[in-house]
Amino acid sequence: MNRENLLFAIIGVLLGFIVGFMFASSMSQRAATPSAGTTANQNLPPDHPPLNAAGQAGAGGTANPQAMQAEVTSQLERARNEPKNFDAQVKAAQLYFQIQRYDQAIEYLLKANQIKPDDVDVVAMLGDVNLQAGRFDEALNWYEAALKKKPNEVSLLASLAFTQLQKGDAKAAEQAIAKLEKADPNVVDLPRFKERLAQLK
């Protein structure tokens, strides 16, 4: 399959998943929108704290399939043709995340991270995508890197704690939960995290 056919195949898959939705708001709003939804993942239980790498579904109304196809094509070509364009890389990653093509999403997020290594939102999103892909060690590395930039960010602490619980590391999970509780004792997920921790011990 040549590159042109591959591009149209990708567009077809994308349209199958995102017709009816408008493009999500910029993923750089991760910290500002902690309740943003994500693509469903069977590996994650329903009590997992929100991951925001996919952004939010748009407001009501249905999208025009032809316009959506043109937009998808434009976004992917722009990301490929403008490798130094931070926003283009992030938007391409967002599109791939929405259809659970995590390798491609990570590829574009890594490019965005190379362009702006101090952008904490992209660092955190790399944690989110790796977590969704079941790559717990990589997710932990990215969350820890993000926490160096924002040590008391509750959403990052929650993601770190959850990842440790998913990994089955009781000691590390206990430490992460303690940090989360110290940062915000009213976090909704704390009781469930503590229950899971007790099951691990």
Predicted confidence band at 124 (pLDDT cuts at 50, 70, 90)? Answer: very high
Task: Give the rounded percent of residues in the chain with a pLDDT score beyond 90.
Answer: 54
For residue 76, the model assigns a pLDDT of 84
For residue 132, pLDDT beyond 80: yes
DSSP 3-state assignment of 146? Answer: helix
What is the arithmetic mean of pLDDT over 123-148? 95
What is the arithmetic mean of pLDDT over 141-158? 94
- Tokens at residue 129, please? 């995508």
For residue 67, the model assigns a pLDDT of 74
Predicted confidence band at 144 (pLDDT cuts at 50, 70, 90)? Answer: very high
What is the arithmetic mean of pLDDT over 19-32? 37
For residue 11, the model assigns a pLDDT of 54
d(CA 178, CA 181): 5
- Tokens at residue 150, please? 């924002």
For residue 23, pLDDT beyond 70: no
Give CA separation, 25 vs 32, 116, 122, 125, 189, in Å: 11, 19, 14, 14, 25
For residue 31, the model assigns a pLDDT of 36
3-state helix, strand, coil in the chain (%, to 5): 65, 0, 35
What is the arithmetic mean of pLDDT over 103-113? 95
- Tokens at residue 176, please? 């992460």
Identify the residue with better confidence: 152 or 123: 123
| Angle value at C-alpha 129, between 175 and 163, nearest 5 degrees | 20
d(CA 139, CA 14): 25
pTM of the predicted structure, to 2 decimals: 0.69
d(CA 60, CA 142): 34
For residue 107, the model assigns a pLDDT of 95
For residue 93, pLDDT beyond 60: yes
pLDDT, tens only, 34-67: 333 333 344 554 555 555 444 433 344 445 677 7
d(CA 177, CA 162): 9
Predicted confidence band at 22 (pLDDT cuts at 50, 70, 90)? Answer: very low
Mean pLDDT, all residues of the chain: 77
pLDDT, tens only, 75-85: 888 899 999 99
d(CA 133, CA 180): 23
